[in-house]
Amino acid sequence: MADLLKKVKEKTGSAYGDVDKVVLAFSGGLDTSVIASLLQDMGKEVITCTLDLGQQGEFKGIEAKSKKIGCKKHYGLETKKEFVKEYLWPGVKANAMYEGNYPLFTALGRPLIAKKLVEIGKKEGAQAVCHGSTGKGNDQVRIDAGVSALSSMKVIVPVRDWGLTRDEEIVYAKEKGLDVKVTKEKPYSVDENLWGRSIEAGPIEFPEQAVPEDAYEWTKPAEKAPDKPSFVDISFEKGIPVEVSIDGTAYKDEVEMLKALTKAAGEHGVGRIEHMEDRTIGFKSREAYEAPAALTILPAHQDLEKYVLTKDELFHKVYLDNLYSDMVYTGKWFSPLRVAVDKFNDEVESAVTGTVRMKLYKGRASVASRKSANALYSHNVATYDKGSSFDQKEGGAFTKLWLMQYSTAYKMKYGKK
């Protein structure tokens, strides 16, 4: 114990001399428990803070852990609705999916964590906030940037700044009698919230090996999914889900709808993602995810967009959606461009109202049908049956004019051989 404290003091020097109160983003796991204890050993007052973003683990027990470590105050914040409305739903409008595969659930939660740490820090008169990120991941970037954008508080990131290793943390935790479970059976590092669950570390780090079945907790393997499909009607208003009806049972509350959909789609094996990802910090990492609700809602939303938006809106939105996802991933939530794209989306998405029926079957969520009062599709125009209101003769004049420039250019360039 003395060893770790000595190392930390040497590394820190007088860097945090002016800090006597710290707000720590606390999960109750090994890293943040050790950090809370070490900071107190260094004479700092530690206030812990945990956000409920819908993670399925125990939320109530965390306060007791904080008290046991000796922390003066704990904030357990119910932030599920705020998370959905202010972060997940703008993400849906932007079809947020990093590198085409990762629905950004962890990334979308970090700006809210930064915001709450700053709010509590200001209220409590703390000079610093602290979090348990490592120096290798994306979360350090996301939280640090948020704290800097919203305050002038210091950010202490002990695992990164002090080079804490897992082994020395375990020794310290044992000596101090900290209440942390360190199990060898499941070697995974997991992060979860209402929009998804990530599984990292251990065997996941070997991309040439398949993700072991025991990594998954929210989804069944497709081959064990029911033989009978489920049908989910997702109603959107101005680009966001307002009702989800699963085999006839309707959910209007945003938190309840995500929980119910996670369960139903996971049961059908929908939501597994295996991803080779480019981290902000530059290297590639292999990730495993489960996001049953996201993988049902996002394709439904995208389908509805195709039904009601013009070709130009769709064409340019693909670029902006990509940009948005990249900004969320790389920690640029608190940047003017992200705010501007949100405003663009609010305008474009004001037409995205309607209902999409999704079929959940053997690992896939596919669009079955859609309806909308704003549909730009017209059966009358599109039909090949008799009685179409569209006069085909007009097509001839159109093609001639529309392609005149191209035919001329091609002929000039390649025509005289």
Residues that bind ligand ARG (CB under 6 A): 106-107, 137-139, 189, 191, 198, 200, 277, 287
Q: What is the DSSP letter of 290?
A: E
- With respect to ligand ARG, which residue has the nearer C-beta, 35 or 107? 107
Q: Which is nearer to ligand ARG, 283 or 319 (CB)?
A: 283
Q: What is the largest CA-CA distance in the chain?
A: 88
Catalytic residue among 139, 144, 303, 321: 139
Residue with smaller CB distance to ligand ARG, 292 or 354: 292
Token match 């990093």: residue? 98
**Considering the complex, what minimum distance in angstroms separates the CB of residue 32 from ligand ARG?**
12
Q: Count CB-CB contacts under 10 A for residue 415.
A: 10
Q: Which of 31, 144, 303, 321 is catalytic?
A: 31
The two three-digit tokens of residue 51, written as one number = 């956000």
Q: Which of 160, 161, 189, 326 is catalytic?
A: 189
* Stated length of the chain: 417
Residues 24, 75: Cα–Cα separation, whole Å: 10
> What residue type is assigned to position 349 of the chain?
E
Distance CA 202, CA 196 (A): 20
Active site includes 20?
A: no
Could you write out the DSSP letters of every residue in 89-123?
A: HHHHHTT--BTTTB--HHHHHHHHHHHHHHHHHHH
CA distance 137 to 283: 10
- Closest approach, Cβ 191 to ligand ARG, in A, equals 4
Confirm whether 189 is a catalytic residue: yes
The minimum distance between CB 159 and ligand ARG, in angstroms, equals: 11
3-state secondary structure of 405: helix
Least gap, CB of 113 to ligand ARG (angstroms)? 10
Active site residue 407: no
Q: Single out the catalytic residue among 27, 33, 37, 110.
A: 110
Cβ distance to ligand ARG smaller for residue 29 or 229 = 29
Q: Cβ distance 380 to 388 under 8 Å?
A: yes
CB of 98 to ligand ARG, least distance (A): 8
Please check whether residue 257 is in contact with residue 297, taking contact to mean a CB–CB distance below 8 angstroms.
no
First to last CA, the chain: 84
CA dihedral sign, ordered 203, 207, 212, 218: positive
Residue 191 or 254 having the CB closest to ligand ARG: 191
Measuring CA to CA, how many Å separate 236 from each of 101, 160, 260, 340, 377?
Answer: 22, 42, 17, 22, 18
Residues linked to residue 80 through DSSP beta bridges, in sequence order: none
Least distance CB 169 / ligand ARG (angstroms):
15
**In this complex, which beta carbon is closest to ligand ARG, that of residue 138 or of residue 345?**
138
Give min distance, CB of 407 to ligand ARG, in A.
Answer: 49
Name which of 200 and 313 has its Cβ closer to ligand ARG.
200
Catalytic (active site) residue 142: no
CA 7 to chain centre: 35
User: How do 154-156 and 128-130 pair as beta strands?
Assistant: parallel
Q: Which residues are catalytic?
A: 31, 110, 139, 189
